[in-house]
Homo-oligomer: A and B are copies of this chain.
Amino acid sequence: MQDSPARRIEFWFDFGSNYSYITAMRIVPLAARYGVQVAWQPFLLGPIFKSFGWDSSPFVLQKQKGAYVWKDMVRQCEKYGLPWRQPSSFPRAAVLPSRVALLGEGAPWQDEFCRRVFALNFAQDRDIHTPEAVGGILEELGLPAGELMQAAQADPIKLKLRQQGETATAREVFGAPTFFVGSEMFWGNDRLEDALAFAAGRQPAGQP
């Protein structure tokens, strides 16, 4: 008996990660075409980079790669039809929106909240960690902003975000976006289609 395909993808992301932005804007309609469900998994890359001995993103630490990445983002966002403004601060701190996103697990507003946080960072070049920024998005969505932010800053959610980091470390996540289909890991927006094909039990499309 063959295992049936998972039909579920975990999307591990940091709101400060520019390639996670591209995935966040694409994943829901694309996954629907593959018949795959998306589990949004916010986490913080900073502690993982620190564990490698880095005090920032490799796009900051490696001058040449950094310069390239911003050119690549212009082209990639054009390719995918996404708005893009290079952040004047990178990578942006994302503790508060990550906690709110975790609080929204299973709620109908979670994915739209995440997309709006990403858009604030990468389409509007605005900070995403302040109560004003996060509260503003929650209000736009017609949600009780004050109440949700209070719950997001309480111990259970604080603990949950720390546990996300521990899980990411245990699963050898080294960047974002990272996808899991069962235990199978895929790294980078460039692997999104492959990961969805795997989740759907299809062959990935590759031009020889």
Contact = CB atoms under 8 A, between A and B. Distances in A.
Interface residues of A, number: 34
Nearest to A30: B207
Contact of A62 (B52, B72, B75, B190): B52
Interface in A194-208: 194, 203-208
Nearest to A22: B206
Nearest to A205: B79
B172 A67 contact: yes
Contacts of A206: 76, 79-81
B207 A65 contact: no
B194 A68 contact: no
A185 interface: yes
A109 interface: no
A205 B71 CA distance: 18
Contacts of A62: 52, 174
Given A67-B172, A80-B206, 20 more contacts: A26-B207, A26-B208, A30-B207, A52-B62, A64-B174, A65-B174, A65-B175, A68-B172, A68-B174, A68-B185, A68-B187, A72-B186, A72-B187, A72-B191, A75-B194, A76-B206, A79-B194, A80-B208, A81-B208, A190-B190
16 contacts: A26-B207, A26-B208, A30-B207, A64-B172, A65-B175, A68-B172, A68-B174, A72-B187, A75-B204, A79-B204, A79-B206, A80-B206, A80-B207, A81-B208, A188-B190, A193-B207
- Top 4 closest pairs, chain A to chain B, by CB: A79-B206, A64-B174, A190-B190, A64-B172
